[in-house]
């Protein structure tokens, strides 16, 4: 469903992605791991064309979205749900209105229909009673849950998660992981997750992709990934400062 070929991206003199080749299995969760600042989020943002590559292609259902004009791109983006790192809830709206927002803007659904669906999603993420609150009144974990409810409201085929547990305590991080796994089972979307919280994230992932030096060093199931003889992978898993990954 999503395939990235020879993806290059630079920001001024910094060459972040240096020829990424990666295919995301349909209906599965693939987690991109790597050190901080290695370009995981940059790669994720290319998958729904929030960033355009300097070189290379990003295919979604066979269409290269990197070169699409805005109108066609928006049609493709309707297939995506995105959970941003800070949840990116619109702070002028209540949680309910945030979750209802895509339905109100992109569909012709009637208000009772919208209300029913939003309440159902909020219930699924454990925020049944929080609809009236504003983002500023929520804790970090609640914001992520509300962001997830909004990402899922349009029944997307693909959901992108940008570091969904960053800044959360281990208990809350586990609960968010469990929530992602549960919603994945319910909705069956293709999930792409960016994270560096290992090994916790292995439990919900079907595949792990290791990004280092601007390329994918390893793509395998969590079990195979852990047993990999690749020194980059082993250094990352073991958290060593010495090895092929340069630490400043």
Given the rule CB under 8 A, which residues bind another protein? 48, 50, 70, 74-75, 77-78, 80, 82, 84-86, 88-91, 101-102, 105-106, 154
d(CA 149, CA 138): 14
- Give 237's Cβ-side CA count (13 Å radius): 20
User: Which residue, 100 or 168, is less far from another protein as judged by CB?
Assistant: 100
How many Cβ atoms from other residues are within 10 Å of residue 194's Cβ? 25
Q: Least distance (Å) from another protein to the CB of residue 102? A: 5
84 versus 202: smaller Cβ distance to another protein? 84
| CB-nearer residue toward another protein: 141 or 222 | 141
What's the CA gap between 177 and 197, in Å, rounded?
Answer: 10
DSSP state letters, 12-48:
TTEEEEEEEEEEEPTTSEEEEE-STTSSHHHHHHHHT
**What is Dmax (Cα atoms) for the chain?**
59
Least CB distance to another protein at residue 39 (A) = 17
Q: How far is the CB of 134 from another protein (least distance, A)?
A: 13
Q: Could you tell me if 146 and 135 are in contact, meaning their C-beta atoms sit under 8 angstroms apart?
A: yes
Beta carbon nearer to another protein, 84 or 189: 84
Tell me how far, at minimum, the Cβ of 77 lies from another protein, in Å. Answer: 4
State the minimum distance, in angstroms, from the CB of residue 147 to another protein: 8
Nearer to another protein, 42 or 216 (CB): 42
């Amino acid at each position: 469903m999503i395939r990235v070929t020879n993806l290059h991206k630079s920001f001024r003199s910094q060459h972040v992605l240096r020829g990424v080749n990666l295919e995301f299995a349909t209906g599965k969760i693939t987690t991109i791991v790597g050190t901080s600042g290695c370009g995981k989020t940059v790669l994720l943002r290319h998958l729904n064309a929030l960033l355009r590559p300097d070189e290379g292609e990003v295919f979604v259902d066979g269409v290269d979205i990197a070169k699409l004009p805005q109108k066609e791109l928006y049609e493709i983006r309707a297939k995506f749900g995105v959970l941003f790192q800070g949840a990116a809830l619109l702070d002028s709206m209540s949680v309910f209105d945030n979750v209802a927002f895509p339905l109100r803007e992109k569909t012709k659904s009637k208000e009772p229909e919208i209300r029913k669906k939003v309440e159902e999603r909020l219930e699924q993420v454990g925020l049944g009673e929080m609809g009236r609150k504003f983002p500023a009144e929520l804790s970090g974990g609640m914001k992520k849950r509300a962001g997830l409810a909004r990402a899922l409201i349009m029944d997307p085929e693909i959901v992108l998660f940008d570091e969904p547990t960053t800044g959360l305590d281990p208990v809350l991080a586990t609960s968010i992981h469990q929530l992602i796994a549960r919603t994945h089972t319910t909705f069956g979307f293709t999930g792409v997750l960016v994270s560096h919280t290992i090994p916790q994230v292995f439990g919900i992932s079907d595949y792990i992709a290791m990004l280092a030096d601007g390329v994918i060093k390893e793509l395998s199931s969590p079990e195979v990934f852990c047993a990999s003889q690749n020194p980059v992978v082993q250094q990352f898993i073991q958290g060593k400062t010495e090895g092929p990954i340069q630490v400043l």
